[in-house]
């Protein structure tokens, strides 16, 4: 793949990847829906010529919701692809065809496959990966499995997703203390503030790579270096980043990572992942456990319990298989497009959205600087739920958090859809009292 440098809408240099033929599906079926939906005076053809990554739009035909809606809510739920639909249909066919033997013949290898693909996306080895039904359950495996000993303090940010905090708050009766670092602007947390909070009683720093509330990208490399120097471990809640922003867990040297398929990985609900750094696996002994976490599970040795040697010791019981089929298909899409390319595209789209927001003087609650902002764009809005439902009536799907309207384009979105959402907001806000 060749690369060249171009100017993004806000003037920042971005890389444009020239697509390989195999990478994107045929362009012939690129939806015309957004090309019809024009909200500014710039001719469509002129804007298309200026827009990089146009080849990625060929993927749109794989996501039926994009033909029906202006879908800008991938940080809540990634769009369902025809490939994932076919994967889930295949799961049902195999169930009908083989009955229980589908487990041994096929489903077990499907689980191994999803583990391998996820490991590839984050730069891990498959034996360092466990699966869980959701991120909260994944966190419980680590929180009950990790003995922090004398270093009983857990440092996190008050912008982290509540479920991350609850894991350790629920263990306060076991002597765990949670130390929240307060965000000065409800948008960012300076890395130095988190670093200062780490002391010789801190056993773990548990925080997000991307804050769900603002899209801010934390400097995990710097934080981890410092935490390790102080003798603390680092756990990353990567739910709002995996599949959107490249990661190499080895280069970052993080100890644990949890994430799931619901959002940027486009695999829907029911599947989460846990990464445990190889040399820590033996130290994690979860009390939330079961036969899938035990060595030689098929020997059915009631009365003998030993943890497995690999990260699967953090698993408990029979997983839901349909989401694994859905995820095997969606992770293929992530790998084919490439997370680096997804980041280029989503950064460009989010920069474009931010520019339109700033032109209108609306208050942005995400960083203006695209280098530290993911593709979650938050706007300060009164009664955002009303706007969400008015937009939904126009076929535009976004989402809200208290006092905030949240727009989150993925690689399959278009600049025309950015135009659509902002011009719809122009109209809705003009008649608001
Ligand atoms: C950053 C982050 N962590 C965790 C969660 C919760 O995950 P789960 O419902 O799988 O426990 C969410 C959900 O939106 C999230 O955004």
d(CA 113, CA 119) in angstroms, rounded, equals 10
Q: How many CB atoms lie within 10 A of CB 226?
A: 18
Q: Which atom of ligand 1 is nearest to the CA of 240?
A: 1
Q: What is the pLDDT along the chain (433 residues), one digit of tens a residue?
A: 333 333 333 323 333 332 333 334 433 333 333 333 333 334 444 454 567 888 999 999 999 999 999 999 999 999 999 999 999 999 999 999 999 999 888 999 999 999 999 999 999 999 999 999 999 999 999 999 999 999 999 999 999 999 999 999 999 888 999 999 999 999 999 999 999 999 999 999 999 999 999 999 999 999 999 999 999 999 999 999 999 999 999 999 999 999 999 999 999 999 999 999 999 999 999 999 999 999 999 999 999 999 999 999 999 999 999 999 999 999 999 999 999 999 999 999 999 999 999 999 999 999 999 999 999 999 999 999 999 999 999 999 999 999 999 999 999 999 999 999 999 999 999 998 6
Give 263 Cα–ligand 1 centroid separation in angstroms: 9
**pLDDT given for residue 173 in this prediction:** 87
d(CA 413, CA 346) in angstroms, rounded, equals 8
CA 143 to chain centre: 21
**pLDDT given for residue 51 in this prediction:** 76
Q: Which atom of ligand 1 is nearest to the CA of 208?
A: 1
d(CA 331, CA 314) in angstroms, rounded, equals 22
d(CA 280, CA 286) in angstroms, rounded, equals 13
> In this structure, which residue's CA is closest to atom 6 in ligand 1?
135
Give 264 Cα–ligand 1 centroid separation in angstroms: 12
Handedness of CA 383, 389, 391, 394 (dihedral sign): negative
**pLDDT given for residue 433 in this prediction:** 63
Give 215 Cα–ligand 1 centroid separation in angstroms: 14
**pLDDT given for residue 105 in this prediction:** 81
Residue 194 three-state SS = helix
Give 4 Cα–ligand 1 centroid separation in angstroms: 36
**H or E element, residue 342:** helix 339-360
pTM, whole model, 2 decimals?
0.89
Using a 6 Å CB cutoff, which residues line ligand 1? 134-136, 161, 163, 208, 212, 237, 239-240, 260, 272
* CATH entry, 3-62+338-430, from 1.10.10.10, 3.90.1150.10, 3.30.300.30, 3.40.190.10: 3.90.1150.10
CATH 3.40.50.11310 fits 85-335, yes or no: no
**What is the three-state SS of the chain?**
CCEEEEECCCCCEEEEECCCCCCCCCHHHCCCHHHHCCCCCCCHHHHHHHCCCHHHHHHHHHCCHHHHCEECECCCCCCCCHHHHHHHHHHHHHHHHHCCHHHHHHHHHHHHHHHHHHHHHHCCCHHHEEEECCHHHHHHHHHHHCCCCCCCEEEEECCCCHHHHHHHHCCHHHCCEEEEECCCCCCCCCHHHHHHHCCCCEEEEEEECECCCCCEECCHHHHHHHHHHCCCEEEEECCCCCCCCCCCHHHHCCCEEEEECCCCCCCCCCCEEEEECHHHHHHCCCCCCCHHHECCHHHCCCCCCCECCCHHHHCCCCCCCHHHHHHHHHHHHHHHHCHHHHHHHHHHHHHHHHHHHHHHCCCECCCCCHHHECCCEEEECCCHHHHHHHHHHCCEECEEECCEEEEECCCCCCHHHHHHHHHHHHHHHHCCC
**pLDDT given for residue 25 in this prediction:** 45
User: What are the contacts of 99-102 at 24+ separation with CB within 8 A?
Assistant: none
Q: Which of 161, 166, 257 to mutate to test the pocket of ligand 1 (most atoms within 8 A of CB)?
A: 161
Q: Which of 212, 320, 374 to mutate to test the pocket of ligand 1 (most atoms within 8 A of CB)?
A: 212
Give 135 Cα–ligand 1 centroid separation in angstroms: 6
**pLDDT given for residue 110 in this prediction:** 96
**What is the phi/psi pair of residue 269, to 5°?**
-80, 160
Q: Which of 141, 143, 159, 239 to mutate to test the pocket of ligand 1 (most atoms within 8 A of CB)?
A: 239
Q: Give me the residue spans of the domains in the chain.
A: 3-62+338-430, 85-335
Q: Which of 163, 170, 272, 378 to mutate to test the pocket of ligand 1 (most atoms within 8 A of CB)?
A: 163
Give 298 Cα–ligand 1 centroid separation in angstroms: 33
Give 234 Cα–ligand 1 centroid separation in angstroms: 18
Give 83 Cα–ligand 1 centroid separation in angstroms: 24
């Amino acid at each position: 793949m060749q690369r060249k440098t171009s100017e993004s809408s806000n003037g920042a240099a971005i890389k444009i990847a020239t697509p390989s033929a195999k990478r994107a599906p045929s362009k012939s079926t690129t939806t015309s829906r957004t090309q019809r939906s024009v909200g500014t005076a710039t001719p469509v053809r002129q804007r298309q010529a200026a827009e990089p990554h146009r080849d990625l739009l060929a993927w749109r035909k794989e996501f039926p919701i994009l033909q029906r809606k202006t879908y800008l809510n991938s940080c809540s739920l990634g769009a369902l692809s025809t490939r994932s639909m076919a994967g889930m249909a295949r799961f049902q066919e195999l169930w009908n065809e083989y009955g229980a033997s589908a487990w041994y013949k096929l489903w077990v290898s499907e689980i191994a496959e999803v583990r391998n693909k996820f490991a590839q996306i984050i730069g891990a080895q498959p034996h360092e990966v466990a699966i869980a039904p959701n991120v909260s359950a994944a966190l419980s495996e680590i929180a009950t499995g990790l003995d922090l000993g004398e270093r009983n303090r857990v440092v996190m940010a008050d912008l982290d997703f509540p479920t991350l905090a609850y894991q350790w708050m629920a263990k306060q009766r076991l002597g765990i203390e949670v130390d929240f670092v307060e965000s000065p602007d409800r948008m960012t947390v300076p890395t130095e503030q988190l670093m200062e909070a780490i002391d010789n009683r801190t056993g773990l720093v548990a925080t997000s790579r991307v804050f769900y509330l603002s899209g801010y990208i934390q400097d995990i490399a710097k934080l981890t270096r410092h935490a390790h120097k102080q003798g603390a471990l680092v756990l990353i809640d990567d739910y709002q980043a995996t599949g959107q922003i490249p990661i190499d867990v080895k280069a970052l040297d993080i100890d644990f990572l949890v994430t799931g398929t619901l959002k940027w990985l486009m695999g829907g609900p029911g599947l989460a992942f846990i990464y445990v750094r190889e040399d820590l696996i033996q130290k994690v002994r979860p009390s939330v456990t079961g036969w899938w976490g035990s060595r030689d599970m098929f020997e059915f040795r009631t009365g003998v319990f030993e943890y497995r040697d690999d990260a699967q010791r953090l698993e408990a019981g029979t997983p839901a298989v349909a989401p694994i089929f859905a995820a095997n298909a969606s992770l293929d899409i992530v790998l084919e497009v490439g997370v680096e390319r997804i980041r280029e595209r989503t950064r460009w789209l989010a920069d474009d959205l931010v520019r339109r927001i700033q032109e209108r003087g609306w208050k942005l609650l995400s960083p203006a600087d695209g280098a530290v902002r993911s593709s979650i764009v938050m706007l300060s809005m009164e009664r955002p739920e009303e706007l969400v439902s008015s937009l939904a009536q126009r076929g535009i799907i976004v989402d809200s958090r208290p006092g905030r309207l949240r727009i989150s384009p993925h690689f399959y979105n278009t600049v025309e859809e950015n135009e659509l959402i902002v011009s719809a907001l122009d109209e809705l806000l003009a008649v608001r009292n």
